[in-house]
Structure 1
Amino acid sequence: MAMARVSPSSSARLLPYPLLQSFLRPFSSSVSHLCSSRRRSSPVAAAFSQASLSPHTVSEGQVMEAPSTSSRRPWKHTCLYYTQGKCTMMNDAMHLEKFSHNLMEDLPVSASAADKVKLQKLDYFLILDLEGKVEILEFPVIMIDAQSMEFVDSFHRFVRPTIMSEQRTTEYIAGKYGKFGVDRVWHDTAIPFKEVLQQFEEWIGNHNLWKKEHGGSLNSAAFVTCGNWDLKTKVPDQCKVSKIKLPAYFMEWINLKDIYLNFYSRRATGMMTMMRELQMPIVGSHHLGIDDSKNIARVLQRMLADGAVMQITAKRQSATGDVKFLFEDRIR
């Protein structure tokens, strides 16, 4: 089967969950459908929220409906086969009508907002938001240009556990991704973590962000996470389970919570708190990794437009060493 290597997407006006489920049924039906404190005001806020919203509370898995505007296209859920380079329905008009194949639509940047960005020490940010408690189940990365704030590319893979039994994995996936209606996609596409890292290294290598022979560190780029758990705890634990050495490019990262605290002088416990305080509507499904990564990227864009400078906040001295936190005032 020919595989298309592509950059994904989703968008802006969100649908109620029952309607979203009806859109996602082609994924679930059969493999034959396999796409095989203080509030800081900002003059550029409208470039990212496109509306002034009251704070909302969104429960796990819920899709929030953002207010519509005449400039918005109807929102469509991202084709999760496409994000992994496996969509075989690009010539199917009905499929294209139902699912988005352009992640950039969720991450627009206006010229006026880009003009506000201060000089950054890095060229690219790699927004990472892992999913999975026992083992990693989803590995999504959104690449953003540090100066223009524009979406560059994305990497997205579902991850197949190596020590969980088949029955437990099936039950876990049904509980985790079944509520989004994309559990069939996971079963069709998930690969072991070791293979995910091999493909990821090829991806960052193609973008000239990494060369194994140069020590394995990222070149003028850094991971951005919402908290320290992803790279302090989960990736090292998964590497032990998968019996591989922790790659050098995971040795340092930017915890957006710490940058947010020091820039806005207020604490945010997570992505949803940041978005509520910044009056930004959520795009997609909370706790679907690729959608959470897009929303964290949108918060990052907003902070850059407000004048924030992104800096490394945590660094590990070695693959087995302790993590050194570089900000005195940080989220613990």
Structure 2
Amino acid sequence: MSIQAKFHHLQAIQNLLAPYRYLYCVDLEATCDEIEKSEPPRSLTVAPEQMETIEIGLVVIDLESLEIVDEFQRFVRPQINPTLTEFCKKLTSIQQPDVDGAGTYEEVGEELRTFTARYPDAAWASWGDYDARQLERDAGFAACRSLLEGLQHFNTRKWHKGLYDNQPKGLKQTVEWMGLVWQGTYHRGIDDARNVATIVIEMLA
């Protein structure tokens, strides 16, 4: 990609963010199941359309200083499949007591709204569009407002592809490809959100 093309992509991203003072970098973990190759055939305990958020991680970037200024993390108690599968616990490192003692999606939503009120004029971003779809699914299950309802969502994976002319793979692979230092545990909401924020700051700097 030419320097000029990269500059135009960066300018386009900056124009999208111009109306906002803050950007929330968000990552969700959800109930899930997968049949291991070593297992006998069985039905999935958690169907894809029944996945529920069990952790939300949110990192606040001040778009004027391009610095991380705050973060929010909560576990969420699932309602449809309250018992985590072994696959889910292994993938996310989230354990049963973490979600058993957590608030519901609606309760965590109230906490999050109190938190984000400190950082108005904000949009939010995630690595791909999955997180936006999952929040809508959760809101449907709980018959309540979506956690980030009314805020503009951006797909940072698309930004990365446009800037670097490179088809990004997983979040961790992208962090390493950019020469950045991975932080924390992969597939943990707050750690993944921190790494999304690191990518965004690197792209915008």
Whether 2:55 is the aligned partner of 1:135: answer no
Mapping of residues 1-332 of structure 1, within 5 Å = 121=18, 122-132=20-30, 133=32, 134-164=51-81, 166=82, 169=83, 171-172=84-85, 174-177=86-89, 183=95, 186-187=98-99, 189-205=101-117, 207-209=118-120, 220-231=121-132, 233-246=133-146, 249-250=149-150, 252-305=152-205
Kindly provide the CA deviation profile for residues 213-249 of structure 1, in whole angstroms up to 9, marking residues without a partner as x: xxxxxxx211110001111x21111111111144673
For residues 229 and 280 of structure 1, the distance between their equivalents in structure 2, rounded to whole angstroms, comes to 23
CA gap 1:145/1:189 in 2 versus in 1, 3 angstroms = farther
Kindly provide the CA deviation profile for residues 91-123 of structure 1, in whole angstroms up to 9, marking residues without a partner as x: xxxxxxxxxxxxxxxxxxxxxxxxxxx785121
- The alpha carbon displacement at 1:199 in A equals 0.6
SS at match of 2:76: strand
With normalisation by structure 2, the TM-score equals 0.74
CA gap 1:181/1:204 in 2 versus in 1, 3 angstroms = closer
Kindly provide the CA deviation profile for residues 5-24 of structure 1, in whole angstroms up to 9, marking residues without a partner as x: xxxxxxxxxxxxxxxxxxxx
Contact 2:109-2:147 within 8 A present in 1 as well: no
- The alpha carbon displacement at 1:200 in A equals 0.6
For residues 194 and 290 of structure 1, the distance between their equivalents in structure 2, rounded to whole angstroms, comes to 19
- Give the partner amino acid of 1:148: S
- Counterpart position of 2:11: none
The structure that is strand-richer by fraction is 2
% same residue: 24
CA gap 1:273/1:250 in 2 versus in 1, 3 angstroms = farther
- The alpha carbon displacement at 1:193 in A equals 0.2
Bigger radius of gyration? 1
- Give the partner amino acid of 1:124: Y
- The alpha carbon displacement at 1:138 in A equals 0.4
- The alpha carbon displacement at 1:178 in A equals 5.5
Q: With CA pairs under 8 Å and 6+ residues apart, which has the higher RCO, 1 or 2?
A: 2
- Give the partner amino acid of 2:185: S
CA gap 1:249/1:266 in 2 versus in 1, 3 angstroms = same
Kindly provide the CA deviation profile for residues 238-294 of structure 1, in whole angstroms up to 9, marking residues without a partner as x: 111111144673553110011112222222133223213211231111001111111
Kindly provide the CA deviation profile for residues 169-197 of structure 1, in whole angstroms up to 9, marking residues without a partner as x: 1x42x543457765266146411000010
With normalisation by structure 1, the TM-score equals 0.47
The structure that is helix-richer by fraction is 2
CA gap 1:252/1:263 in 2 versus in 1, 3 angstroms = same
- Counterpart position of 1:60: none
For residues 109 and 179 of structure 2, the distance between their equivalents in structure 1, rounded to whole angstroms, comes to 35
SS at match of 2:124: strand
- Give the partner amino acid of 2:173: T
SS at match of 1:286: coil
C-alpha RMSD of matched pairs (Å): 2.6
Kindly provide the CA deviation profile for residues 120-143 of structure 1, in whole angstroms up to 9, marking residues without a partner as x: 512111000111141111011000
For residues 180 and 255 of structure 1, the distance between their equivalents in structure 2, rounded to whole angstroms, comes to 22
Task: Mark the runs of 5 or more structure 2 residues left unpaired by the alignment.
Answer: 4-13, 33-50
For residues 80 and 136 of structure 2, the distance between their equivalents in structure 1, rounded to whole angstroms, comes to 16
For residues 243 and 184 of structure 1, the distance between their equivalents in structure 2, rounded to whole angstroms, comes to 24
For residues 145 and 295 of structure 1, the distance between their equivalents in structure 2, rounded to whole angstroms, comes to 16
- Counterpart position of 1:320: none
For residues 39 and 299 of structure 1, the distance between their equivalents in structure 2, rounded to whole angstroms, comes to 21
SS at match of 1:131: strand
SS at match of 1:282: coil
